[in-house]
Structure 1
Amino acid sequence: MDDRPHLLVIATGMRLFREYLLRSICTQYRIHMFLHAEPTWEKEYISGWTVLETTLDASLLSETARSLNAKDPVHGVLCWDEARILQASHAAAALGLPGGDPLMINRCRDKHLTRQALEAAGVPQPRSILVDTVDDALAAAAEIGYPIILKPRALAASLGVVKVNDPDELKAQWDFAHDTTAPEAPHYDVKVLAEEFADGYEISIDSAVYQGKAHPFCLARKELGYFPYAEEVGHYVDANDPLWQDASLLDMLQKTHEALGFTDGVTHTEIMMTSSGPKVIEVNGRIGGDMIPYLGMRANGVDPGLNAAAVACGRAPDVTPSLSQCGGVRFFYPAEDDTVLGDVTFSTVPEGADLLVPLMQPGATASPPPKGTLIGRIAYATAVASSIDECRSALDSLQDGLKW
């Protein structure tokens, strides 16, 4: 008999970005997966699977989860796909498991609800006004003061986010913020936030939340590019980042989760470190993307997959560091719109280089932001070294040697 806890994982995401999670989790958990197509590469890590017509239907997920649980009791439900985290919470609720609070997840999924909850609790954040039209946005900007940020209500990875400095720029960028979408994103009748611009540098913190207590395990510093768009072009993690010792920051992190009523699960919280103190930008009710948790694991030794599985099953996480390294990731884009790609290859492999991952096949067409955004990425690379400078140097060399 296999006495490992039985974990239901809903969907996977791209192999090139999420395989490391399954690789870790399967060492201590039996994984049953709900997918919309037969598994391929996932079979190496899972003990069972169910193919559904769709994994976007909360009722279908809940009904199928009940059937699975009747045959083989499920100890936890886990999902890291932004488009499915709300539906997964319904499945957890149907089984009476941790994370089974759709209202909790929706307060993260809907950025307007996030703002309302944080405002009610007095958690520092940029001022935010929900706007429906260009005229609404112009009025909000006049009230808040330029520059402002236009931001979609329920996207991720900074999609559709743009800084505008005056009314003319706002009018010119309105369609970008209003019309940018992503596959399977939720629809809202009013879907843009006009927000106060928070100057400073941005970080993210991944936390395993257990019985209302946030246990942070990965702190990353974000690098943005293609201004005025907020394209996330890279991240750096330092196991010894001095921000780990910032008591006020960690206290705000805990108060943020309390304000959202987030009691069990994993979160990815984005925070702007401003001259007047940290301000919450947003909270995602899932583990971070863009290989950020992987960098944390390589830098400090804390396993993100195992911690996500633990709290999903009502177990205390273990976020004790065992390494003292640094890690970085950089995303690469073509130089011009509508570039037809050849082989995407790295011609040099400097010291510190870790993962070298082409994302597009020969013959594909790609563009840099704003036309390309996430889908314009043609490759990414990670580096692991004893300092951020060494990671940056390795990534610079990889970028110089990238061919397409």
Structure 2
Amino acid sequence: MKLLALEAVQNGRYYQSRYHQIEEFGGTLFVLNGLGEPDYWPADRYRVAGSRHIDDIIAAAREWHAQEQFHGVLTFSESGVLTVAAVAAALGLPGVGLEAARISRNKLLMREAQQRGGAPTPRFRLANDLPSALQTADEFGYPVILKPTLGAASNFVFKVDTPDELRTRFAQAVAGMEGMSWWRMEAEGLDPGPYGLLVESFLDGREMQIEALAWDDEVYLGSIVDRITIEGNTFDDDAHRAPTTLDADQLAKVHQVVTAAAHAQGLRRSVMHAEVRFHRGVPHLLEIAVRPGGGGLDYFARLSTGYCPIRATMAVAAGIKPEVQHYKPTGVHLAGTCLISGPGRIEQITVPSAVAESDRVFFLKITAQPGDLIKRPPDGNNILGFLCTSGATFDEAIRTAYEFAGQIDVRLTAPHALPTTPPAPRLTA
């Protein structure tokens, strides 16, 4: 199976480990970046279009497809969703379609579609300026959530408790959105929908991270992981457990709302990462993305239910129904945490061999490198990586995760010593 992975602007080397998984699972992967580093992938299967404009990316993909005859195109990046939809359509390959991709990328369009489809969502409104944000928050009632319509990884997502706090957070979010990497990695020449700030009502219950599949009229919940973070007024997707603690009735309700939302977004054949939060006993949609979840959620899925989001992505890209069943846990106890530090520029990260080689660690990925600038809320939401562990019980697994995370040594340059503008990433045309 020949597959083409796409990014309009390469997101460092973040997705390389998943690219290697595709090849381990029997695929032959070609990589096309609009802008990207040299020597990123084997030279005979790597090209850089020299531009992040969609016309140039499509032209490069079309020329390559004529030579190789790809079976499908894919991305693991939230910023690549529209690019993949456009390229798939241009090449006549399977895809979700540009309109479904736009709805699934833009949080405002997503909310509107979910509402039309009858899926429970928080109350929401696009706030074009601070007065409209204040008026909306007063109408919805505090606390409210403030978030960019085209964000990712919880960048500039704030829980806001008072009007004064909203004034501060709104200004921070507007300033941060201008340079947000997830926005700057989008392809030019495509309409992603409104880029602004949403004000949403706050959902007060627990949250689930779901790896799912839409195939024709059926939606499968392949994996469900409970998010167990104790939240403040900013959001880090930092601690998870599996199997889920949902009972049978709650599971049925979650399946119902995810199905309604997926179909409302126009998703009929797609891998999906769904986030659901309960509010007063009712599951509400936070989002459905048309890609697998990040971090170690693919490992969680394989171990906790036997569902593989990476294999599913490969199959769907080629128009083949993946191996999937409705949620059925294996009974294995898993825990995971993001590795989070304070702000600063990284000098060194040291992972002890006792951690890296432990048979209790099933996923360890350090995404930050020496020289990287770590921004923390309200300036950004960078993390160091992910650590996931197993145990005879969940309590044992999470204790191990926190114990091992504490053994990873991170040395940072103090924030006050940092330049105001970090060096640009090395990208080639």
Match of residue 106, structure 1, among 96, 102, 106: 102
- Report deviation, 1:379: 4.0
TM-score, reference length from structure 1: 0.87
**Deviation of 1:38 (Å):** 6.0
Is 1:140 the counterpart of 2:136? The answer is: yes
Residue 193 (1) aligns with residue 220 (2) = no
Give the secondary-structure state (helix, strand or coil) at the position aligned to 2:233: coil
**Residue of structure 1 in register with 2:25 after alignment:** 27
Change (3 A) 1:21 1:244: farther
CA drift of 1:302 comes to 2.0
More divergent stretch after superposition (388-397 vs 377-386)? 377-386
Q: In the alignment, what sits opposite 1:380?
A: 386
- Is the Cα–Cα contact under 8 Å of residues 344 and 361 in structure 1 kept in the other structure? no
| Corresponding residue of 1:180 | 176
Amino acid at match of 1:214: V
* One-letter amino acid of the structure 2 residue matched with residue 326 of structure 1: H
Aligned to 2:421: none
Give the structure 1 partner of residue 335 of structure 2.
Answer: 328
C-alpha distance in 1, partners of 2:23/2:223? 17
Aligned partner of residue 334 in structure 2, secondary structure = strand
The equivalences for 1:212-251 within 5 A come to: 212-224=217-229, 227-238=232-243, 242=247, 246-251=251-256
Residues in 2 aligned to 1:200 and 1:239: alpha-carbon distance in whole angstroms: 15
- Give the Cα–Cα distance (whole angstroms) in 1 for the partners of residues 329 and 20 of structure 2: 21
- Cα offsets for 1:51-102 (capped at 9, x unmatched): 2113x33222322332233223222111111112101101111122221511
Q: Which residue of structure 1 aligns with residue 57 of structure 2? A: 61
Which letter does structure 2 place at the counterpart of 1:384?
Answer: S
Structure 2 residue aligned with 1:256: 261
Match of 1:153 in 2: 149
SS in 1 for 2:404: helix
CA contact (8 A) 2:126 2:197 kept: yes
Q: 1:364 to 1:299 in 2, by over 3 A?
A: same
1:369 aligns with 2:369: no
- The AA in structure 2 aligned to 1:60 is D
Select which of 269, 273, 277 maps to 1:272: 277
Query: How big is the shift at 1:246?
Result: 1.6
1:51 aligns with 2:48: yes
Higher alpha-carbon deviation: 32-41 or 107-116: 32-41
Superposition deviation, residue 153 in structure 1: 0.8
- Give the match's secondary structure for 1:307: helix
1:354 maps to 362
**Distance in 1 separating the partners of 2:371 and 2:227:** 31
Q: Matched residues, percent identical?
A: 24
Distance in 1 (alpha carbons) for counterparts of 2:329 and 2:29? 26
TM score, norm. by length of structure 2: 0.82
Q: Return the letter of the residue paired with 1:230.
A: F
**Residue 25 to residue 385, structure 1, CA distance change in 2 (3 Å):** farther
Could you tell me which amino acid in structure 2 is paired with residue 332 of structure 1?
A: L
Aligned Cα RMSD in Å? Answer: 2.8
Relative to structure 1, the CA distance from residue 243 to residue 357 in structure 2 (aligned partners, 3 Å threshold; closer, same or farther) is: farther
Quickly say closer, same or farther: Cα 1:365–1:53, change in 2 above 3 A: closer
Contact 1:299–1:384 (8 Å) recurs in 2: no
In the TM superposition, residue 339 of structure 1 has moved relative to its aligned partner by 6.7
The one-letter amino acid of 1:403's match is: D
CA displacement at 1:130 relative to structure 2: 0.5
- Secondary structure of the residue that 1:180 maps to in structure 2? helix
Q: Specify the alignment match of 2:424 in structure 1.
A: none
Does the 8 Å CA contact 1:159/1:373 hold for their aligned counterparts?
yes
CA spacing shift, 1:226–1:370, aligned 2, 3 Å = farther
Alpha-carbon shift at residue 344 of structure 1 (Å): 3.1
C-alpha displacement of 1:371: 3.7
Give how far 1:324 is off.
3.7
- Report the secondary structure of 2:181's partner residue: coil
Higher relative contact order (CA 8 A, sep 6+): 2
Partner of 1:397: 403
Secondary structure of the equivalent of 1:126? coil
| AA matched with 1:112 | L
Counterpart Cα distance in 1 of 2:214 and 2:55: 26
Which range moves more in the overlay, 267-276 or 13-22?
13-22
Q: Select between 17-26 and 74-83 the one with higher mean Cα deviation.
A: 17-26
Give me the whole-angstrom Cα distance separating, in 1, the residues matched to 2:217 and 2:44.
31
Match of 1:314 among 316, 319, 328: 319
Per the TM alignment, residue 168 of structure 1 is displaced from its structure 2 partner at its CA by 1.4
- Structure 1 residue 372, shift from structure 2 partner: 4.9
Match for residue 122 of structure 1 among 109, 118, 127: 118
C-alpha distance in structure 1 between counterparts of 2:281 and 2:54, whole Å: 42
Q: Are 1:93 and 2:100 counterparts?
A: no
> How many residues were matched structurally?
394
Correspondent of 2:297 among 282, 292, 295: 292
Q: Give secondary structure in 1 for the equivalent of 2:135.
A: helix
Task: Indicate how the Cα distance of structure 1 residues 230 and 198 shifts in structure 2: closer, same or farther if over 3 A, else same.
Answer: same
Counterparts in 2 of 1:100 and 1:91: CA distance versus 1, 3 Å: farther
**Matches of 1:98 and 1:388 in 2, distance apart?**
40
Tell whether the 8 Å contact from 1:239 to 1:300 is kept in structure 2 after alignment: no
